[in-house]
Amino acid sequence: MQPFVFHNPTQIIFGAGSVDRVGKTVARHGRTALLVYGRDSIHRSGLYSRVTSALQQAGVSWIDHGGVKSNPVLSHSRAGVDKAKASQVDLILAVGGGSVLDEAKAIAAGACYDGDLWDFFSDRATVQQALPLVTVLTLAATGSEMNSGGVITNEETQQKFNLSSPHLFPRVSILDPVLTWTVPADYTAYSAVDAISHLLEGYFTSPDPVTPLQDRFVEGLVKTIMESTEQILAQPAHAEARATMMWAATWALNGLSTAGIGAYQFPNHMIEHSLSALYDIAHGAGLAIVLPAWMAWQADQHPAKFARFAREVLGCQLSDDRQCALAAARGLKDWFGAIGSPVTLSEAGIPANDIPAIAANAVMLAQKWRMPAYSAEVIANILQRAA
Amino acid sequence: MQPFVFHNPTQIIFGAGSVDRVGKTVARHGRTALLVYGRDSIHRSGLYSRVTSALQQAGVSWIDHGGVKSNPVLSHSRAGVDKAKASQVDLILAVGGGSVLDEAKAIAAGACYDGDLWDFFSDRATVQQALPLVTVLTLAATGSEMNSGGVITNEETQQKFNLSSPHLFPRVSILDPVLTWTVPADYTAYSAVDAISHLLEGYFTSPDPVTPLQDRFVEGLVKTIMESTEQILAQPAHAEARATMMWAATWALNGLSTAGIGAYQFPNHMIEHSLSALYDIAHGAGLAIVLPAWMAWQADQHPAKFARFAREVLGCQLSDDRQCALAAARGLKDWFGAIGSPVTLSEAGIPANDIPAIAANAVMLAQKWRMPAYSAEVIANILQRAA
């Protein structure tokens, strides 16, 4: 184990019906909220009126900031910052999935900053303060509800970059698994891929070979996510599986799985961010394409951990580490395909001819994240395995 | 899964040498600390001068409150409250194991309260505020470093009771595993028993049969604690195993393993508290006596979860659930014995004739914790299996 600092102050209110606690929860943090949400579904499902009724009852007023896109964009985030400043809101209330939460974090930071919002993403400024953030989660996937990071795409520069600050932990996240019962099969699958990827980035890139506590934590979570996803796909309103999946996805990126494993990396996210910056593809779908390719590329070089994963999680019984490591990559790719995700670029409609352009885009993030081993050539090599 | 609220705001600073950050850490919370610690070992080991040098460098003054006993007592805690009030300290700094931390929590609460400290333990008052608490942990066992509870023995009434309040989460806990390298074999074993018991109380008493996430979390932790303990007993300064054990013991009682499992109980702690209130026995040793007996008693009635434990953690291959459940109780008892703990009352020098008196004492806690199923007769029945 390696030294670390762990501090996760987010309060989680979990359970069926917990969304109705949003009014009193928000009221503890202010009287005027910027209400950040996505497209029409929040109106169609009745969630918008449920949340705003609770706000009204608690004496909280709100300014609407709807229309957040999946893979949220800078221009819309800037508009949110303008609204938050103009109305001098006390806090941000995000109602939605990871995209809505990420944009809400950007707005929470931008509302307390005089410069341009992109400064935080391009490392020209660090977040010194932020408005309080309360979230109501509608999709179990990104873990944004219990961490301090967010990702925004700058449409002008085609950069999908992240910001991170201890000021951006949500004060409270309300996790009502019933809100996820209507998530369709494709997004259920992409969400599972996303959560599994969050766990495996650290698991496979940790420099420390002796982290049994974190390894078992990750293996147990991945098994649980796979099991729950299969149950949900068979029965979308499976209450237990939806609840388990929701809490599992939160654990997958709240700092627990990586505390003590040393300086790990996010190579699959680095590459995938270029896919979803350049193409209209769900983040989880992009990861389902990248992760098995990266694993196959990496398994050759460091087979031991991949072999362990294959044995502990996928039930691989091969005795040879290298064969077992390759079986891990193949097994996960097969499972991603079986739950309905694309697993190759061509299945996602991305031509192999684009690989050099994708790699060139990804290198920007490799540099920002200080991963010099990932040259454009290396990234293209990995992507070739996903053609 | 059941509804829950999870909020654990303690910051953890983990790693070899992290104790040297105590000065700056404390200085963020005040200028004058009550320094709570145990017996002479902190002086012999040089830890006292290391901590106080760091405080001096950071401009923090301190009032000594040494002499905390294992199974800390009310009279000494009251003396700490008096010192904290007289010197108007800004915060409490606890340097020690779970007993020191528990007493420090009691003092932190008592210092902000006009009534008698025992009011909090006897449910005559709830903690409304507390002084900030910073801890430096020297024994990986109780989990007190990342939770909001504490246990104190009232010597006059022979009651070993607990208090709990969100105000009592340590602000910061410094976990330097090197400080645990000199923990002797017996306390290493008792610590493992304690941490395992914390995990299994919820695991075996959850009313919800569908908690795969929490079950795998517990099973992975128990396996890791068993593995690390064996490594430490073979090589006391085993850096990796000591580090793993330290973080595992923290996870074992920081609210993660029980969030979502519903209204669980602490029957083994309920019974054990009477053993260590009435006899000079380490809490972990008491649990090693009680837990296998309680498991054997309970396995008859609800074999499924015990059988799962035996299969997942102890490698039991019996196909019959009831046989496997009994093997779980036997297997854990054997392991507790193998690592050097007493596993029967007689091994701890406690005569079987005392069982009625122990049960009568334990019933007080069963009532406080609202566990009416545990009459004196039931408790005596369980203890008979540990004679």
Map out the domains of chain A with their CATH numbers: 11-179 (3.40.50.1970), 183-384 (1.20.1090.10)
Confidence of residue A287 (pLDDT cuts 50, 70, 90): very high
Q: Does A188 touch chain B (CB under 8 A)?
A: no
* Segment B157-175, tens digit of pLDDT: 999 999 999 999 999 999 9
Kindly report the length of chain A: 387
Q: Which of A24, A216, A218, A312 to mutate to test the interface with B (most CBs of B within 10 A)?
A: A216
Cβ contact A248–B7 (<8 Å): no
Instruction: Select from A1, A217, A221 the Cβ nearest to the Cβ of B240.
Output: A1
- Is pLDDT above 90 for A301? no
**Would the CB atoms of B244 and A213 count as touching at under 8 Å?**
yes
3-state per-residue secondary structure call for chain A: CCCEEECCCCEEEECCCHHHHHHHHHHCCCCEEEEEECCCHHHHCCHHHHHHHHHHHCCCEEEEECCCCCCCEHHHHHHHHHHHHHHCCCEEEEEECHHHHHHHHHHHHHCCCCCCCHHHHCCCCCCCCCCCEEEEECCCCCCHHHCCEEEEEECCCCEEEEEECHHHCCCEEEECHHHHCCCCHHHHHHHHHHHHHHHHHHHHHCCCCCCHHHHHHHHHHHHHHHHHHHHHHHCCCCHHHHHHHHHHHHHCCCCCCCCCCCCCCCHHHHHHHHHHHHCCCCHHHHHHHHHHHHHHHHHCCCHHHHHHHHHHHHCCCCCCHHHHHHHHHHHHHHHHHHCCCCCCCHHHCCCHHHHHHHHHHHHHHHHHCCCCCCCHHHHHHHHHCCC
pLDDT at residue number B40: 85
ipTM summary value: 0.96
Residue of B nearest to A178 (CA): B3
Q: What average pLDDT does the segment A107-128 reach?
A: 97
- Interfacial A residues in 124-183 facing B (CB < 8 Å): 177
Q: What gap in Å lies between CA B311 and CA B304, rounded to an integer?
A: 11
pLDDT of B367: 94
Q: Are B268 and B290 in contact (CB under 8 A)?
A: yes
Name the strand (E) or helix (H) holding B172.
Answer: strand B172-175
Classify strands B32-37 and B91-96 as parallel, antiparallel or unpaired.
Answer: parallel
Q: How far apart are CA B169 and CA A324, in angstroms?
A: 44
Would you call B11 an interface residue with chain A, using a CB distance cutoff of 8 Å?
A: yes
CA dist B305 and B56 (Å) reads: 52
- Report helix, strand or coil for B218: helix
Whether A267 shows a pLDDT value over 90: the answer reads yes
The pLDDT of residue A213 is above 90: yes
Question: Taking a C-beta distance cutoff of 8 angstroms, is the pair A96, A69 a contact?
Answer: no
Q: Does B20 touch chain A (CB under 8 A)?
A: no
Q: Say whether residue B231 is in contact with chain A using an 8 A CB cutoff.
A: no
B chain contacts of residue A20, beta-carbon cutoff 8 Å = none
pLDDT digits (tens, 9 = 90+) for A323-339: 999 999 999 999 999 99
Name residues of chain B where pLDDT drops below 70: none
Determine the pLDDT at residue B164: 96
Nearby residues of A46 by Cβ (< 8 Å), 6 or more positions away = none
Which among B2, B3, B213 is the nearest to A224, CB-wise? B213
In this model, does residue A40 exceed pLDDT 90? no
- The whole-number pLDDT of residue A147 equals 98
What average pLDDT does the structure give for chain A?
97
Say if CB B169 and CB B8 are below 8 A apart: yes
Structure tokens at B292: 């296998």
SS3 B356: helix
**Alpha-carbon gap, residue A375 to A225, rounded angstroms:** 33
In this predicted structure, the answer to whether residue A300 has a pLDDT above a threshold of 90 is: no
Q: Which are the contacts of A95, defined by CB distance < 8 A and separation ≥ 6?
A: A35, A36, A37, A42, A47, A48, A51, A135, A136, A138
| C-alpha pair distances (Å), B77 with each of B72, B106, B115 | 8, 7, 14
Please tell me which of the candidates B220, B247, B260 has its beta carbon nearest to residue A216: B220
Answer for the pair B225, B245: CB distance below 8 angstroms, yes or no. Answer: yes
At B65, give phi and psi (nearest 5°).
Answer: -140, 75
Q: Which residue of A has its CA nearest to B221?
A: A213
Mean pLDDT of A197-224: 97
Please check whether residue B39 is in contact with residue B187, taking contact to mean a CB–CB distance below 8 angstroms: no
CA gap B16, A313 in Å, rounded:
32
Q: What pLDDT does residue B302 have?
A: 87
CB B259 within 8 A of CB B214: yes
Best of A6, A196, A231 to substitute, by most chain B Cβ atoms within 10 angstroms, is A6
For residue B345, the distance in angstroms to the closest alpha carbon of chain A comes to: 33
Question: What confidence category does residue A302 fall into, taking pLDDT thresholds of 50, 70 and 90?
Answer: confident
pLDDT above 90: residue A247? yes
Q: What is the pLDDT of residue A58?
A: 98
